[in-house]
Amino acid sequence: MGLLSDPQCRRALSRLVLRLNTPLCALSYLAGLGWFLALAFPPLAPRTYMSENAMGSTMVEEQFLLGERALSYAREFAGHKKKAGGMPVAWLEKTMWSLGLEVHKQPFARTLPFPDEARERYMVKGTNVYGILRAPRAASTEALVLSVPCSEGPHNNQAVGLMLALAAYFRGQIYWAKDIIFLVNEHDLLGMEAWLEAYHDVNLTEVRSSGTLGRAGAIQAAVSLELSSDVVTSFDVAVEGLNGQLPNLDLLNLFHAFCQKNGLLCTIQGKLPRSDWDSLPAYAHSLQTLLLMVLAQASGQPRGDHGLFLRYRIEAVTLRGINSFRQYKYDMTTVGKTLEGMFRKLNNLLERLHQSYFFYLLPSLSRFISIGVYMPAFGFLILVLVLKISFWMGGVGGGEREPHPSFPQEARPGLLVLVPPLLICHAAGLALYFLPVLGQRVATQHFPVSESEAVVLTVIAIYVAGMALPHNTHRVLAGGSSDRGWMTLKLLALLYLALQLGCLALLNFSLGFLLAATMVPAAAAARPTGPK
């Protein structure tokens, strides 16, 4: 701090940064990539641990023995679904009533902006059916959810059967302190979003639903189950939600703990964990798992129905049963015991899951990378922009600072000069956001194109019009040939980029890091030399 307070030291440091700017930028960029690649090493990825005291032990005696009954329910459900040509709503209501649940159904409809690829339809109609098991030992203030998507064809029939068998078993227990909701949702994400919006009395996606909606308590956690086989060889857990949201790490640790207790193989991103963490193949395996998670999180798409729960501050995961050609196979009884153990532990929660991490990366199910460890990788990439900003400030700034020899000595441009190009850029962004949808109906009425083609053509037209932006921008800068004007515009563009990437990385690290890794080199290497 004493050196930085000395004006001569600050000038010397400024000259050093200007002189070695390019090597420092390259070194910072390589350091960011190197830090990210090193995240898969064990010293930077410690073992996971349970932070919530109420879920710190798996010492519960699971007694679920209704595996055959689950398969019987699955066969009945498959037969009635085939007969009805869709979800057998009446059979589900009758079966849930016979199990002693409080049954409700929710018809819903959603108008799609584009026709779907399967049936070329604009209107999607469906019905969600769910039963509520009221807690015998507490008021209906809190709830847990076990959801199963009703998919077309023979998929997920076993998941519905296991859910009904678990409902029958849970109905006979007296230790429940939270309501348990058994939900069968139609049309996957559309049905789940319709149910969540109706349950929380909001309307975010213009889904129309009808019928009297029964409610339980505030939902604390949810598990979405997907099974399409009578036996499973492993369970794959999906954690990525909408816009890269992740559930609390303790929920994932709970699933992993009960899989280990019952001998179930569990995977993430389809990758089994390895025990030899010190070998080079193990590092490559962990890095591959890490990269798959980064790509999945950066896409912003939920990898299961659980992803929609996260936007309502409900911790949730999706469990997918995999039946491959591995030697060891597990029946419905073992799977049911695992789910029973998870729900019994979640039943012990006194408050929402909050003690563990919400921002993390997973090279495997047994190890995690916290936000304090992976953010320096992004910080090194942003440092490249900071160094370039200081470099261009050396060319634009005046005063007592000694000018850099590569910068010509011209009059400093005014800030009003930068207003036209900024307005043009923001107008182009707003056009890309609004015009494709607004022009959709106009294009389909006057031209022989479909809705999706109209949006694509509008976007292409805006991009083609934007190609004239560099040619026209130099006309509004000082004199049309002012290098200082271009330097000022470059400086402002770097500030915009650094700010946007920084805000994005706080919300979705994977997307922010991938954009920084690709955009920072181009932004740093581009030199403003007139209209070129």
pLDDT at 124 > cutoff 80: yes
At 392, the pLDDT band (50, 70, 90 cuts) reads low
* Total Cβ atoms within 10 A of residue 296: 18
pLDDT score, position 444: 67
pLDDT at 274 > cutoff 70: yes
User: How many residues would you count in the chain?
Assistant: 532
Q: What is the mean pLDDT of residues 466-481?
A: 54
Q: Can you say whether the dihedral through the CA atoms of 445, 451, 453, 456 is positive or negative? A: positive
SS (H, E, C) 250-285: HHHHHHHHHHHHHCCCEEECCECCCCCCCCHHHHHH
pLDDT score, position 467: 66
pLDDT score, position 395: 55
Amino acid at site 174: I
Residues 6+ apart with CB under 8 A from 295: 510, 514
* Total Cβ atoms within 10 A of residue 171: 15
The per-residue pLDDT for range 211-238, each reduced to its tens digit, is: 667 888 899 999 999 988 888 888 899 9
End-to-end, the C-alpha distance of the chain in Å comes to 42
pLDDT at 169 > cutoff 80: yes
Distances (CA, A) of 23 to 27, 140, 229, 253: 6, 63, 57, 43
The per-residue pLDDT for range 6-46, each reduced to its tens digit, is: 677 767 767 777 777 888 889 999 999 999 999 998 888 88
The per-residue pLDDT for range 35-84, each reduced to its tens digit, is: 999 999 888 888 888 888 777 666 778 888 888 999 999 999 999 999 98
* Total Cβ atoms within 10 A of residue 270: 11
Q: Which of these ranges, 16-30, 75-89, 433-447, 510-524, has the smallest mean pLDDT?
A: 433-447
More confident residue, 426 or 463: 426
Nearest to 168 by CA among 75, 100, 74, 226: 100
At 350, the pLDDT band (50, 70, 90 cuts) reads confident
pLDDT at 466 > cutoff 70: no
pLDDT score, position 363: 93
Domains, the chain = 12-39+373-397+415-525 (no CATH), 53-365 (3.40.630.10)
pLDDT at 399 > cutoff 60: no
Q: What mean pLDDT value characterizes the chain?
A: 83
Cβ atoms of 122 and 451 within 8 Å: the answer is: no
Per DSSP, the three-state class of 169 is helix
What is the C-alpha to C-alpha distance for residues 124 and 115, in angstroms, rounded to an integer? 10
Q: Which helix (H) or strand (E) holds 297?
A: helix 280-299
Q: What is the mean pLDDT of residues 288-302?
A: 94
What is the C-alpha to C-alpha distance for residues 183 and 143, in angstroms, rounded to an integer? 12
pLDDT score, position 15: 76
Q: Can you say whether the dihedral through the CA atoms of 274, 277, 281, 286 is positive or negative? A: positive
Helices (H), 397-508: 419-446, 451-466, 469-476, 483-507
At 481, the pLDDT band (50, 70, 90 cuts) reads very low
What is the C-alpha to C-alpha distance for residues 173 and 153, in angstroms, rounded to an integer? 34
